[in-house]
Structure 1
Amino acid sequence: MRRLMYVMVMLMAISLSGCGHKVEMSQIGIVAGLGIDQTENGYLMTAQVVNPSSIAGNQHDTLSVFSISGEGETLFDAYRSLNSLTAKVLYLPHLSVIVVNEDIAQSGIDPVVDFVLRNVMIRPNITLVVANHTTAREVLNVLTPSEQIPINQLNSLSNLCLTCTGREVNYNLYQVSGMVNDPSSNIVLNSVSIDSKEKSEEGDIQNVLQMEAPSQLKIDSLAAFQGDQLVGYLTSKEAQYYNLLVGTSKRYVVTTVLDDEYKLSYEVRESKVEIKPDLEKNKVMVDCSVKGVLMENGYPIDLMNPVNVSDLEAALGNQLKQDIQSFIDKTQNELASDIIGVGGKVHQKNPKKWAEVSGYWEDIYPELEFDVKVKLEITSVGDAANLKE
């Protein structure tokens, strides 16, 4: 692994060199993550920079990363100020994550997206994340024991959670730009918080030398937008229903309680959702069909009896229907943002009608009446099916 990293760094050093100008490996600063905070006078930009010598194993007494922060009136001013804080040449093609604070998210992320997409050195398939009740600078200063390059943990967590639990999203910058500027859809982004016992230890080397790190990066909610402005957050559970309705993931967990005592857990493995708006009747039909596995059963019932399984399907299906309805109510009343893409369905089905309503869709969406129907099937009850009697 270290040899591969060393070869990669050497290739980058060669790519940075040119006629009459040679950049040594030790002079390269690979930027893994950028943090952008809004200030009174403009922006504070923080870069998490990889130390190639430490990664390659040439220096054992140094951290694998360091961070620098610079201010500027504009984003480009702030970026240029970073170059005066390090002797290394900042190398951007390996940038994987950009973190913005809530102030920027609430005022609008379009300037950040525009700045990044204009920089030819930055790949557009990077992740944009909102710092939840913290600053982007603090997020980039957290050292994590699981990654040599701490900011990479955000990418790893996002991809893992989306695949395994359906609780996160994975939109690149091109997708974010398209959705921000499309009146028929609204974007949601991953948000990150700092789970810290002692906030003073976030940038401390001791954070990576303990079995349980004092400070950890935590991705457990989604940031919901109206246009390019942050309007609120979705909980981890609500994130599942967002992904279910927009079709970006297949796995979800449904839990319910029977007779006020017995808990059930069910994992969705397959799902199909149809959203059918009818603006003439001011209604939206949501047909949801899911198949999955009973993962936990606390109810004293014989699951070898098909009738009992049908009863559990009805109970779990009713719970899923309630959860989806509650989530949709939140998008209408609290967020007032069509993050599930009903407007896109109208545009797709009837472009002429969409042209009539697109100018005031923000006012129409909260007034729509949703009719949610759920068909839930238990495909497996496990090997312990006959143990409950």
Structure 2
Amino acid sequence: MKKRILFLIIIILTNFLIGCWDKRELSEITIASAVGIDKVEDEYLVTVQIINPSEIAGRELTGRSEVSTYRVKGKTVFEALRKLTRDVPRKVYLGHLMILMIGEELAKEGIIDVLDFFSRDHELRTDFYIVVTKDSMATDVLNVLTAIEKIPAEKLYDSLEMAEKSWGNVRAVQLDQLISDLINTGKDAILTGVSLIGQKQDNNSMENVNEVKPKNIIRSEDIAVFNGDKLVGWLTQNESRGYNAIVDNLKNTVITIPCNEKNNLAVELLKSKSKMKSEIKQGIPNITVKIDLEVNIADVGCNIDIKKTDNIKELEKNLENQVESYMNLSIKKAKKLKSDIFGFGLELHRKHPKEFKELRDNWEDEFSHLDINIKVKSKIRGTGTTKDTFIDKIDDGVNKNEE
């Protein structure tokens, strides 16, 4: 009997533990989809993009924007966000944040203080993407209304993922990865850059989404290079591809290679796998990066017989030279910026901890003189639905069959 009573008491007490003790009703919060942070003099300028639920889920649209943006300054990011309560009647909820956008000038000063808040807030998930604006302030970029996607932050989130998968010149970075790169010895951080393309005026106008050709668009391009927590430079499109190839993040892209003296041929990357190997001989470190590529021929812009094995081998060699040039360009830029964004130092630290201990305190200079060998091997797997090209059948606009 006593056991049954004890069991009943446990069941009753358990009921009090069920549910979310700290839950908030939807009517008490407003959901932020993106946050932009700039530095203006000695204060943070925080821009919050807030979702208008009536425009997203309502049966009848009012014609208003699906999002609203609010700007406020503060000595700290937390202070600025709390000041928003003066303008927004509900507490700003960051639990569904998709994009954290950091202004270029702030990134040059350092991003540690900003990241500290976002890593501490218990409401935040860590699956949002972090980007750096290029040639614009974060507040200006977040004011752009976008076509196709109703929520601009969602558009940028999807664009980052698509560009990483299909173009290869960006790297979508989330909070955990960024913090890991910042604290790890022998590995510097990178972030994708976003640019405001267009007139940069009236970018928050509804006309920007109602016109066939928007006046302003947000484009994810180039990679921001950090030394410590400070932005020190940018990788161009081809340099960014080279970076992704080295760190085994080149998923799918289009690569243009020469097929004769004047014309080019495009291949679609199907598969890429890179491996990094480190050695230390007589106290001198060196790195070898091997990458294997598999591609399909996608666009033939010249008169070439791709049925011939010799021609295929020549194209494979051209592809290897092209990718190797991308990789060497990225290494050259990183050495110039003294930023080991590839993690060569981390590789040495893991494989040769005793030897690397003597190098780590002066790794910036050691990296600048590091011997790095690139080996690229490619394989053309397919030529599309046809092995012939109609280019050789056309001579000066006249069909040879009619002669």
Match of 2:5 in 1: none
Give the TM-score normalised by the residue count of structure 1.
0.90
- In the alignment, the residues of structure 1 paired with residue 65 and residue 329 of structure 2 have an alpha-carbon distance, to the nearest angstrom, of 47
- In the alignment, the residues of structure 2 paired with residue 176 and residue 232 of structure 1 have an alpha-carbon distance, to the nearest angstrom, of 17
Give, in angstroms, the shift of residue 284 of structure 1: 2.1
CA contact (8 A) 1:191 1:220 kept: yes
Match of 1:90 in 2: 92
- In the alignment, the residues of structure 1 paired with residue 32 and residue 257 of structure 2 have an alpha-carbon distance, to the nearest angstrom, of 45
Give, in angstroms, the shift of residue 140 of structure 1: 1.0
CA contact (8 A) 2:252 2:269 kept: yes
Match of 1:354 in 2: 356
Match of 1:212 in 2: 213
Match of 2:10 in 1: none
- In the alignment, the residues of structure 1 paired with residue 150 and residue 271 of structure 2 have an alpha-carbon distance, to the nearest angstrom, of 36
- In the alignment, the residues of structure 2 paired with residue 350 and residue 282 of structure 1 have an alpha-carbon distance, to the nearest angstrom, of 10
The match for 1:186 among 185, 188, 192 is 188
> Residues 247-286 of structure 1, C-alpha deviation per residue, up to 9 Å, x if partnerless?
1232233222244302021222112222223343443222
Q: Does 1:68 align with 2:76?
A: no
> Residues 208-255 of structure 1, C-alpha deviation per residue, up to 9 Å, x if partnerless?
111111111111111111121111111222222211111123223322
Q: Secondary structure at the match of 2:152?
A: coil
Q: Does 1:167 align with 2:169?
A: yes
Q: Secondary structure at the match of 1:16?
A: coil
The match for 1:81 among 66, 80, 83 is 83
Match of 1:268 in 2: 269
Map 1:118-157 onto structure 2 (within 5 A): 118-157=120-159
Match of 1:3 in 2: none
Give, in angstroms, the shift of residue 59 of structure 1: 5.3
- In the alignment, the residues of structure 1 paired with residue 179 and residue 212 of structure 2 have an alpha-carbon distance, to the nearest angstrom, of 40
Q: Which has the larger radius of gyration?
A: 2
CA contact (8 A) 2:245 2:327 kept: no
What letter corresponds to residue 142 of structure 1 in structure 2? V
Q: Secondary structure at the match of 1:376?
A: strand
- In the alignment, the residues of structure 2 paired with residue 255 and residue 336 of structure 1 have an alpha-carbon distance, to the nearest angstrom, of 30
Can you give the 5+ residue segments of structure 2 that lack an aligned partner in the other structure? 1-19, 393-403
CA contact (8 A) 2:235 2:333 kept: no
> Residues 298-329 of structure 1, C-alpha deviation per residue, up to 9 Å, x if partnerless?
23221111122112112222222222222211
Match of 1:285 in 2: 288
Q: Which stretches of structure 1, 4 residues or longer, exceed 6 Å deviation after superposition?
A: none
Deviates more, 1:378-387 or 1:217-226: 378-387
- In the alignment, the residues of structure 2 paired with residue 89 and residue 250 of structure 1 have an alpha-carbon distance, to the nearest angstrom, of 40
Q: Secondary structure at the match of 1:201?
A: coil
Match of 1:321 in 2: 324
Give, in angstroms, the shift of residue 294 of structure 1: 1.4
Match of 2:24 in 1: 16
- In the alignment, the residues of structure 1 paired with residue 89 and residue 135 of structure 2 have an alpha-carbon distance, to the nearest angstrom, of 33
Match of 2:204 in 1: 203
- In the alignment, the residues of structure 1 paired with residue 211 and residue 385 of structure 2 have an alpha-carbon distance, to the nearest angstrom, of 39
- In the alignment, the residues of structure 1 paired with residue 67 and residue 290 of structure 2 have an alpha-carbon distance, to the nearest angstrom, of 49
Q: Does 1:304 align with 2:307?
A: yes
Of all paired residues, the percent bearing the same amino acid is 30
Map 1:103-118 onto structure 2 (within 5 A): 103-118=105-120
CA contact (8 A) 1:267 1:294 kept: yes
> Residues 344-369 of structure 1, C-alpha deviation per residue, up to 9 Å, x if partnerless?
11012112222221111111001012
Give, in angstroms, the shift of residue 203 of structure 1: 0.8
CA contact (8 A) 1:92 1:122 kept: yes
What letter corresponds to residue 141 of structure 1 in structure 2? N
- In the alignment, the residues of structure 2 paired with residue 302 and residue 147 of structure 1 have an alpha-carbon distance, to the nearest angstrom, of 44
- In the alignment, the residues of structure 2 paired with residue 156 and residue 213 of structure 1 have an alpha-carbon distance, to the nearest angstrom, of 18
In 2 relative to 1, CA 258–292 (structure 1 residues): closer, same or farther, beyond 3 Å? closer
What letter corresponds to residue 342 of structure 2 in structure 1? I
What letter corresponds to residue 131 of structure 2 in structure 1? V
> Residues 17-40 of structure 1, C-alpha deviation per residue, up to 9 Å, x if partnerless?
4xxxxxx63x53211111101011
What letter corresponds to residue 375 of structure 1 in structure 2? K
The match for 2:347 among 342, 345, 348 is 345
Aligned length: 369
CA contact (8 A) 1:199 1:215 kept: yes
CA contact (8 A) 2:260 2:302 kept: no
CA contact (8 A) 1:183 1:227 kept: no
CA contact (8 A) 1:28 1:52 kept: no
CA contact (8 A) 1:282 1:369 kept: yes
CA contact (8 A) 2:241 2:327 kept: no
In 2 relative to 1, CA 282–351 (structure 1 residues): closer, same or farther, beyond 3 Å? closer
- In the alignment, the residues of structure 1 paired with residue 355 and residue 291 of structure 2 have an alpha-carbon distance, to the nearest angstrom, of 25
Give, in angstroms, the shift of residue 143 of structure 1: 0.4
Match of 1:246 in 2: 247
- In the alignment, the residues of structure 2 paired with residue 298 and residue 47 of structure 1 have an alpha-carbon distance, to the nearest angstrom, of 47
What letter corresponds to residue 44 of structure 1 in structure 2? L
Q: Secondary structure at the match of 1:77?
A: helix
Quote the RMSD (CA, aligned, Å): 2.0
Match of 1:55 in 2: 56
Give, in angstroms, the shift of residue 168 of structure 1: 1.8
Match of 2:382 in 1: 380
What letter corresponds to residue 271 of structure 1 in structure 2? S
Give, in angstroms, the shift of residue 139 of structure 1: 1.1
Q: Secondary structure at the match of 1:143?
A: coil
CA contact (8 A) 2:242 2:323 kept: no
- In the alignment, the residues of structure 1 paired with residue 207 and residue 374 of structure 2 have an alpha-carbon distance, to the nearest angstrom, of 50
The match for 2:368 among 361, 366, 369 is 366
Q: Does 1:331 align with 2:334?
A: yes
Q: Secondary structure at the match of 2:38?
A: strand
